[in-house]
């Protein structure tokens, strides 16, 4: 398929070759003018060359236009403003897109494989409780981004990093056990910094149902040696964890594992229902089991990037622009989260991906320097890793900010949101704005206004297309061969054709900028063009050739809407 933009670009190169051979290195920019009167494409090359050539921009423009080879796709060119060269395309060049879409179908807008493997790691929330609406944004963004990257030709691996090895999991296991004791009338005060959510009680209930009083221990043993909560809340918790491990012995692993399995399973189901699926769930614990953490640190050690101070082992991240050096192994001998993350990234590189993307909450931005520093210190190329930051969604209920903390159990879950506004609206709403922009999520508004959500505007356009084609009753597959596209010449149609032409480039840009919201905005505009057309013209007209041409355009519009919605994980219903 001939790409109009690159075609124009080629014409300009040939013209430049005549007018200013020395300036061939100048990049040629072709943009879509905002104003229709400025043509279909506009080029500012003459203004860029004016200075080096020491000539007036409009004169340069005139020479370039005179030197442009003739093209059947270009109807006319003109020089405008300060020296813009505007291209007006022939109708025929715009009409061709319909056939292109009908021939490629679901692949329209998708590029062929570029042979590169890319990994997108996202969500990666601690499996210590249900996903909340903040995670939902990372999930929707990451999933859409992965789809967009796959559409432009990458072989994309979607991965979830499971923090199953840290202190947080121990706290969850402890919390579960304490609730279990509570069920059995054992009175141990539940620490305020343990997990408060009801799901912890649910897990305690499961243990109770399956194992009765097997895990009961006396309160004084549970609390043995623990400082008071007021005195040292974290110390209190850590001592209780230590006591749990000692008292329960191997049974501790059972509770720990049950909590992990339950929460991870819940998380996976939740995401699957949300249309977010992963190729791999990567266990942090496996990094320790395979001694990769030790190996990664040994690598840093041998390159001289580690040192011991105050009993802890530090990574000299300040050498790579970090604010301060970071501990990788604590005084108590335990590795930090950072240590396993270094190992994890080493593992990613060893798997041979060409590019890596980590989707992180924006509160982790201070973490970027040290991770990239560690990569560099291990002799790996930090530029292969891109961090896409997603601002957390801030919830508002009744005009007031809802504070969210998994620990306190006060949060709105993703599941809750999905059931309130639906998967489609939630997916769309999440990616409707730039990812690095704060998202003010007014719950009342999201719930009450669900029918005002722009996603319905787009889905409605799709349903209308389906409805028209159904009313016509013919076989859509034949339209590609029988429609005379030259009949598509009124402004509504030319506008729509132009929009359809823009789709592949929009996908490319969304991939390049890691910005799936561009797809959402494109779809809104495509739907708007279609709705205007629908209201302004009758499709099922008497004249057969006009009718078939219009139906072909409707079919092409439907296909493009569907393709775009698919990238966002939003359904394209035939009826609403």
Partner RNA sequence: GCGCCCGUAGCUCAGCUGGAUAGAGUACUUGGCUACGAACCAAGGGGUCAGGGGUUCGAAUCCCUUCGGGCGCACCA
**What token pair was written down for 84?**
């813009």
Q: Are 567 and 507 a contacting pair, CB within 8 Å?
A: yes
What minimum distance in Å lies between the beta carbon of 287 and RNA? 12
What minimum distance in Å lies between the beta carbon of 338 and RNA? 7
**What token pair was written down for 251?**
């049974």
**In the block, which residue shows the tokens 């001939």?**
2
What minimum distance in Å lies between the beta carbon of 123 and RNA? 13
Between 216 and 482, name the residue whose CB sits nearer to RNA: 482
Please name the residues in contact with 176: beta carbons below 8 A apart, sequence gap of 6 or more.
Answer: 200, 203, 204, 207, 255, 258, 259
Between 117 and 434, name the residue whose CB sits nearer to RNA: 434
Over its C-alpha atoms, the chain yields an Rg (Å, rounded) of 30
What minimum distance in Å lies between the beta carbon of 185 and RNA? 32
State the DSSP code for 311: T
- Neighbouring C-beta atoms of residue 357, cutoff 10 Å: 23
d(CA 514, CA 300): 31
d(CA 64, CA 77): 11
Between 187 and 332, name the residue whose CB sits nearer to RNA: 332
Closest by CA to 3, choosing from 30, 22, 27, 33, is: 30
Among 8, 11, 20, 44, contact with RNA (rule: CB under 7 A): 44
Question: Among positive and negative, which fits the CA dihedral 315, 316, 321, 326?
Answer: positive
Among 14, 22, 29, 232, contact with RNA (rule: CB under 7 A): 29
**Is 227 a residue that touches RNA (CB under 7 A)?**
no
What minimum distance in Å lies between the beta carbon of 273 and RNA? 20
Q: What are phi and psi of 93, to 5 degrees?
A: -70, -30
Between 201 and 524, name the residue whose CB sits nearer to RNA: 524
Between 72 and 399, name the residue whose CB sits nearer to RNA: 399
Which residues 317-346 are close enough to bind RNA by CB under 7 A? 323-324, 326-327, 330-332, 334, 336-338
Piece in contact with RNA (CB under 7 A), picked from 11-19, 242-250, 410-418, 516-524:
516-524
Between 376 and 406, name the residue whose CB sits nearer to RNA: 406
Compute the C-alpha angle 329/318/121, nearest 5°: 65
What minimum distance in Å lies between the beta carbon of 340 and RNA? 8
Q: What are phi and psi of 434, to 5 degrees?
A: -55, 140
Which residues 242-271 are close enough to bind RNA by CB under 7 A? none
d(CA 388, CA 369): 14
Between 282 and 337, name the residue whose CB sits nearer to RNA: 337
**Is 557 a residue that touches RNA (CB under 7 A)?**
no
b/e burial code for range 497-513 (CB count within 10 A of at least 16 → b): bbbbbbbbebbbbbbee
**Is 367 a residue that touches RNA (CB under 7 A)?**
yes
**Is 221 a residue that touches RNA (CB under 7 A)?**
no
Between 57 and 142, name the residue whose CB sits nearer to RNA: 57
Between 206 and 233, name the residue whose CB sits nearer to RNA: 233
Longest dimension (CA), the chain: 94
Closest by CA to 346, choosing from 309, 278, 300, 399, is: 300
Q: Are 67 and 15 a contacting pair, CB within 8 Å?
A: yes
Between 372 and 517, name the residue whose CB sits nearer to RNA: 517
Between 111 and 394, name the residue whose CB sits nearer to RNA: 394
Among 242, 509, 566, 571, contact with RNA (rule: CB under 7 A): 509
Closest by CA to 162, choosing from 271, 340, 282, is: 282
Which residues 281-300 are close enough to bind RNA by CB under 7 A? 284
**Is 452 a residue that touches RNA (CB under 7 A)?**
yes
What minimum distance in Å lies between the beta carbon of 264 and RNA? 14
**Is 397 a residue that touches RNA (CB under 7 A)?**
no
**Is 501 a residue that touches RNA (CB under 7 A)?**
no
What minimum distance in Å lies between the beta carbon of 352 and RNA? 26
What minimum distance in Å lies between the beta carbon of 435 and RNA? 8
**Is 487 a residue that touches RNA (CB under 7 A)?**
no
**Is 433 a residue that touches RNA (CB under 7 A)?**
yes
Q: Are 535 and 140 a contacting pair, CB within 8 Å?
A: no
d(CA 323, CA 310): 19
**Is 88 a residue that touches RNA (CB under 7 A)?**
no
Which residues 145-184 are close enough to bind RNA by CB under 7 A? 163, 166-168
Which residues 124-143 are close enough to bind RNA by CB under 7 A? 126
**Is 219 a residue that touches RNA (CB under 7 A)?**
no
CA separation, residue 10 to residues 24, 69, 359, 502 (Å): 12, 10, 38, 19
d(CA 573, CA 561): 11
Between 150 and 553, name the residue whose CB sits nearer to RNA: 553
> Is residue 205 exposed (0-12), middle (13-18) or buried (19+ Cβ within 10 Å)?
middle
Q: Are 85 and 485 a contacting pair, CB within 8 Å?
A: no
- Neighbouring C-beta atoms of residue 102, cutoff 10 Å: 20
Size of the site for RNA (CB under 7 A): 90
Residue 393 pairs in a beta bridge with 439
**Is 62 a residue that touches RNA (CB under 7 A)?**
no
Among 463, 480, 488, 523, contact with RNA (rule: CB under 7 A): 463
What minimum distance in Å lies between the beta carbon of 220 and RNA? 27
Piece in contact with RNA (CB under 7 A), picked from 45-53, 66-74, 97-105, 374-382:
45-53
d(CA 328, CA 297): 8
Q: Are 16 and 64 a contacting pair, CB within 8 Å?
A: yes
Which residues 298-317 are close enough to bind RNA by CB under 7 A? 309-312
**Is 543 a residue that touches RNA (CB under 7 A)?**
no
Between 215 and 335, name the residue whose CB sits nearer to RNA: 335
Among 18, 253, 490, 540, contact with RNA (rule: CB under 7 A): 540
Piece in contact with RNA (CB under 7 A), picked from 135-143, 239-247, 260-268, 535-543:
535-543
d(CA 393, CA 411): 12
């Amino acid at each position: 398929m001939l790409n109009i933009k690159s075609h124009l670009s080629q014409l300009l190169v040939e013209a430049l070759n005549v007018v200013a051979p020395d300036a061939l290195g100048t990049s040629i920019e072709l943009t879509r003018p905002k104003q229709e009167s400025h043509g279909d494409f506009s080029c500012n090359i003459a203004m860029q060359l004016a200075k080096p050539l020491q000539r007036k921009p409009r004169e340069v423009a005139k020479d370039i236009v005179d030197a442009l080879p003739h093209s059947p796709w270009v109807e006319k060119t003109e020089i405008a403003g300060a020296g813009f060269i505007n291209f007006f395309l022939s109708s025929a060049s715009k009409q061709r897109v319909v056939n292109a879409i009908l021939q490629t179908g679901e692949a329209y807008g998708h590029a062929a494989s570029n042979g590169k493997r890319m990994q997108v790691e996202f969500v990666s929330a601690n499996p210590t409780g249900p996903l909340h609406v903040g995670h939902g944004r990372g999930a929707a963004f990451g999933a859409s981004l992965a789809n967009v990257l796959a559409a432009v030709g990458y072989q994309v691996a979607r991965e979830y990093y499971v923090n199953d090895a840290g202190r947080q999991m121990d706290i969850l296991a402890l919390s579960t056990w304490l609730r279990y004791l509570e069920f059995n009338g054992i009175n141990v005060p539940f620490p305020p910094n343990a997990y408060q959510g009801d799901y912890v009680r649910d897990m305690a209930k499961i243990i109770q149902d399956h194992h009765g009083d097997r895990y009961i221990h006396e309160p004084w043993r549970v609390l043995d040696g623990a400082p008071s909560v007021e005195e040292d809340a974290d110390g209190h918790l850590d001592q209780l964890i230590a006591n749990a491990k000692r008292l329960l012995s191997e049974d501790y692993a059972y509770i720990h594992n049950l909590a992990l399995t339950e929460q991870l399973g819940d998380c996976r189901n939740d995401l699957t229902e949300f249309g977010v699926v992963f190729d791999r769930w990567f266990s942090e614990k496996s990094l320790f089991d395979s001694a990769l953490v030790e190996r990664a640190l040994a690598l840093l050690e041998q390159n001289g990037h580690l040192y011991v101070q105050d009993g802890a082992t530090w990574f000299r991240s300040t050498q790579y622009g970090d604010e301060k050096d970071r501990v990788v192994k604590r005084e108590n001998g335990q590795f930090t989260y950072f240590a396993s993350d270094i190992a994890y990234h080493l593992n990613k590189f060893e798997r041979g991906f060409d590019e890596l993307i980590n989707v992180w909450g924006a509160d982790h931005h201070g973490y970027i320097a040290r991770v990239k520093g560690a990569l560099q210190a291990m002799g790996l190329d930090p530029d292969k890793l891109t961090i896409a930051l997603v601002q957390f969604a801030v919830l508002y209920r009744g005009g007031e900010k809802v504070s969210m903390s998994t620990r306190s159990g006060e949060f709105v879950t993703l599941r809750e949101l999905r059931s309130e506004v639906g998967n489609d609206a939630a997916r769309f709403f999440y990616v409707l704005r730039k990812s690095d922009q704060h998202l003010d999520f007014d719950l009342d508004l999201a719930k009450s206004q669900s029918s005002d959500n722009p996603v319905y505007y787009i889905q409605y356009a799709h349903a209308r297309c389906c409805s028209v084609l159904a009313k016509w009753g013919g076989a859509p597959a034949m339209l590609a061969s029988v429609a005379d596209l030259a009949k598509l010449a009124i402004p509504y149609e030319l506008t729509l054709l132009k929009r359809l032409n823009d789709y592949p480039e929009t996908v490319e840009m969304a991939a390049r900028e890691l910005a799936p919201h561009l797809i959402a905005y494109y779809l809104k505009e495509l739907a708007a063009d279609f709705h205007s057309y629908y209201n302004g013209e009758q499709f099922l007209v008497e004249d057969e050739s006009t009718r078939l041409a219009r139906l072909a355009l409707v079919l092409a519009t439907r296909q493009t809407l569907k393709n775009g919605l698919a990238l966002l994980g939003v359904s394209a219903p035939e009826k609403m």
